[in-house]
């Protein structure tokens, strides 16, 4: 297990380095450089950067140096000072913009993942145990509807139903009276209430696939000889189901941790724009539209790192939960 962990973490560090290179070249892709764009935007707003300011910026980001020197300055600034560069669209450091919106995004992602797993796990077990029943066909139909309907359409439907029939205003993560209020128990409760709708909307896209995977895996496990032998010994059906087959069918849930966070973050871009949520999705979309290179590249780097971290966690948890994975990797290493 220790060798597996060391090897997996080593490959993940190499992957993160390659991701940082790709993100840096995306930053450098637009014509000109960061300071040139900043000067053009300042002149458009009726301002003018002084020569001293321009020299300081060029020296800070090594813009008069080769690309590898600029890359090292960018990475070193991130590693030592958590400095992702400067957002000329927001006229603020990119780190401030990211940290202002990232907590709400992670909270929304966590809520969506929790709902996805709870719904898919429960329905997947039910449809596997009650195969070809009316309930199986109904929940399969509902799952595919959730997969096929775009999230932003669901967001519009939820907004209409909430406003038309419940006299609610669905939009944002806070009610109007709590937008500028200080943090308190009431504001946290209001946040959780407003978070439920967008989390449920985003979760619908991931449930159908996990339902089908869980149903198929659990159906295969229920047909195994050890299940029949346990039934023959008189073991209760509920205990038998949860102790053996369900544990074996949990592997897909564990293995999806790696791409769940970045997929939720990328999937919430349009939903957050429709519902006016203060998450990273609309900010990333605006950065790409306005060629805000450092902000867009920083978001892409964070998404890549989150993917790698999630994949490493899922691999380690999967190796811990399933001894077959450890034996397979040990045999491959030998």
Using CA atoms, how far residue 247 sits from 29, 223, 321, in Å, is 47, 15, 9
**What is the token pair recorded at 254?**
């564990």
The candidate with the shortest Cα–Cα distance to 17, out of 80, 72, 83, 82, is: 72
Q: What tens-digit pLDDT sequence spans the chain (334 residues)?
A: 677 777 778 888 898 899 889 888 877 777 766 677 777 777 777 777 777 877 877 777 677 778 888 888 888 888 888 888 878 778 788 888 888 888 888 888 888 888 888 888 888 888 888 888 898 889 888 877 777 887 778 788 877 887 777 776 667 777 777 777 788 888 888 888 778 778 888 787 778 778 888 888 888 888 888 888 888 888 787 777 877 788 777 776 677 666 666 666 666 677 777 777 888 878 888 887 777 778 888 888 888 888 788 788 877 777 776 666 666 655 544 4
N residues, the chain: 334
User: pLDDT at position 285, please?
Assistant: 80
What 3-state class would DSSP assign to 325? helix
**pLDDT reported for residue 297:** 84
| Separation of alpha carbons 141 and 154, rounded Å | 16
Predicted pLDDT at 328? 60
Q: Two tokens at 89?
A: 């669209």
Give the closest residue to 260 by CA, choosing from 145, 112, 124: 112
Expressed in angstroms, the distance from the first to the final Cα of the chain is 14
pLDDT at 52: 82
Output the pLDDT for position 70. 80
CATH H superfamily, domain 103-279: MetI-like (1.10.3720.10)
The tokens for 8 are 């997996």
Tell me, rounded to whole angstroms, the distance of Cα 276 from its chain centroid.
18
The kind and range of the H/E element at 87 are: strand 86-87
Q: How far apart are CA 172 and CA 154, in angstroms?
A: 16
Q: What is the pLDDT of residue 322?
A: 67
Whole-model pTM? 0.75
DSSP letter at 172 equals S
Residue 274 neighbours by CB under 8 Å, 6+ apart: 152, 155, 156, 159
Q: Which of 194, 201, 104, 113 is nearest to 158 (CA)?
A: 201
The tokens describing 180, both together, are 């500028």
- The predicted pLDDT at position 269 comes to 73
Burial of 29 (0-12, 13-18, 19+ CB in 10 A): exposed
Instruction: Tell me which residue has tokens 């969506």.
Output: 112
pLDDT score recorded for residue 262:
63
Which structure tokens are listed for 74?
């960018």
Q: How far is CA 19 from CA 22, 66, 82, 255, in A?
A: 5, 20, 17, 21
Residue extents of the structural domains in the chain: 103-279
Q: Residue for token digits 């790698």? A: 308
Q: What is the pLDDT of residue 77?
A: 84
Best CA proximity match to 204, nearest among 170, 158, 255, 135 = 158
Does residue 279 sit in helix, strand or coil? Answer: coil
What is the reported pLDDT for 268? 67
Distance CA 10, CA 13 (A): 5
66 Cα distance to chain centroid: 34
């Amino acid at each position: 297990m220790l060798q597996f962990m060391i090897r997996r973490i080593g490959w993940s560090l190499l992957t993160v380095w390659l991701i940082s290179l790709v993100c840096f070249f995306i930053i450098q892709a637009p014509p000109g450089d960061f300071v040139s764009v900043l000067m053009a935007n300042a002149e458009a707003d009726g301002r003018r950067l002084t020569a001293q300011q321009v020299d300081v910026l060029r020296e800070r980001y090594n813009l008069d140096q080769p690309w590898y020197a600029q890359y090292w300055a960018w990475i070193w600034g991130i590693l030592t000072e958590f400095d992702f560069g400067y957002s000329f669209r927001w006229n603020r450091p990119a780190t401030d913009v990211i940290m202002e919106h990232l907590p709400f995004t992670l909270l929304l992602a966590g809520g969506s993942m929790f709902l996805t797993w709870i719904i898919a796990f429960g329905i997947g077990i039910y449809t596997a145990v009650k195969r070809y029943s009316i309930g199986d066909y109904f929940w399969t139909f509902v799952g595919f509807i959730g997969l096929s309907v775009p999230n932003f359409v669901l967001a519009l439907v939820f907004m209409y139903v909430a406003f038309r029939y419940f006299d609610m205003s669905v939009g944002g993560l806070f009610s109007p009276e709590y937008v500028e209020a200080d943090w308190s128990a009431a504001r946290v409760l209001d946040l959780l209430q407003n978070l439920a709708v967008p989390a449920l909307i985003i979760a619908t896209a991931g449930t159908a696939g996990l339902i089908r995977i869980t149903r198929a895996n659990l159906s295969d496990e229920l047909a195994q000889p050890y299940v029949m032998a346990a039934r023959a010994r008189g073991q209760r059906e509920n205990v038998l189901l949860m102790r053996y087959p369900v544990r074996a069918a949990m592997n897909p849930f564990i293995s999806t941790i790696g791409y769940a966070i970045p997929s939720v973050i990328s999937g919430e871009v349009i939903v957050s724009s429709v519902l006016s949520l203060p998450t990273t999705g609309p900010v990333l979309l605006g950065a790409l539209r306005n060629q805000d290179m450092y902000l867009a590249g920083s978001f892409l780097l964070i998404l890549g790192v989150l993917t790698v971290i999630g994949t490493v966690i899922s691999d380690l948890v999967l190796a811990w939960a399933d001894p077959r994975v450890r034996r397979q990797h040990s045999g491959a290493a030998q």
